[in-house]
Amino acid sequence: MEEQLRPGKWFLAMLLAWLWLPFALSAQTAEAAQASAAVDKDASAALPAFDVVSIKPDKSGTMMMRIMFTADGISVTNFPVHMVLREALGISDNQLLGEPGWLNSDRFDIEAKVAAEDAPKLKALKPAQRWAMLLPVLEDRFGLKFHHETKDVMQYVLVVAKGGLRMKEATPGDTYADGLKAPDGKGGGAGMMRVEPGEVIAQAVPIANLVRYLSFQFHSPVIDKTGLAGKYDIHLKWAPDETEGMRMRPPDGSQPEAANPAPPATTGPSIFTALDEQLGLKLEAHKEPGDVIVIDHIEQPSPN
């Protein structure tokens, strides 16, 4: 249950590392993520608490990232706090305001484990709930304080296009012998998803996985209104723009700095056109009042 990620074609996969995991097929839709933006101490109190937590600055200098959900906790390697915070709160980039710059630049290794008696409880938790277990850790070790506000937020609604659905619904029992492989070379079956600049390939995944990726792609909530309940084989290809390299959005909302060269200019449809023509889906953009998280205080982590 491990994903290793390197610059280049696997970059965008780091944002969706758990999509390789079998239990991740019930990943949040953006609508559910909006609801989970209300995560607070009362909500996290219902989850098991981590008993042992190690947080160390990552000085490797590499852009490789790794996340592994273990039998007794979670292991995160070389992640910026921004990404951990966003996942712990279950929100999109444009719902997180007031971040200091170091949340994007400084990287950390986090090892968190529950007590032995709580380990069986983890089996029943969804990935979003496991991430939410890190919220008390951020409050305790990073001094995190935040509040909710309502602001106009850019949102996207995903619907079936007028021309009808063009995706193939997966056939139960498909083995995908020549399909995608996990980083260890194994796999090739249902539930696999690979993303890179300008292309998404997936095998037997729920629409929620595509919705989650689109939310990362646009740094905005994407709400699933397709009504699609099955699992689908997806091959989406479009002309990526210069923002699809190894980049992160600065907290002030300005243009992101490139941490890796952007992909070369290519010709082809926009992602909006590709969704319509290749998958039979349509994204509708609009602004409306939504919940945002404002960071009141956060500091470098306390020593182990």
pLDDT tens digits for range 5-63: 333 333 333 333 333 332 232 333 333 333 344 444 445 558 999 999 999 999 998 87
Find the mean pLDDT for residues 82-91: 91
> For the chain, how far is it from start to end, CA to CA, in angstroms?
26
Structure confidence at residue 187 (pLDDT) = 62
CA-based nearest residue to 292, from 153, 181, 114, 123: 153
* Banded pLDDT at 266 (limits 50, 70, 90): low
Please state, in angstroms and rounded to a whole number, the distance separating the CA atoms of residues 111 and 116. Answer: 15
Contact 167, 158 (CB under 8 A): no
Please state, in angstroms and rounded to a whole number, the distance separating the CA atoms of residues 44 and 46. Answer: 5
pLDDT one-digit tens code per residue, 192-250: 888 888 999 999 999 998 998 898 888 888 999 999 999 999 999 999 875 554 333 33
* Banded pLDDT at 183 (limits 50, 70, 90): low
Percent of the chain surpassing pLDDT 90: 49
By the 10 Å C-beta count (0-12 exposed, 13-18 middle, 19+ buried), 297 is classed as exposed
Find the mean pLDDT for residues 112-128: 91
Structure confidence at residue 184 (pLDDT) = 63
Please state, in angstroms and rounded to a whole number, the distance separating the CA atoms of residues 31 and 81. Answer: 23
pLDDT one-digit tens code per residue, 132-172: 999 999 999 999 999 999 999 899 999 999 999 999 999 88
The pair phi, psi for residue 192, each rounded to 5°, is: -85, 145
Question: CB neighbours (10 Å) of residue 124?
Answer: 8
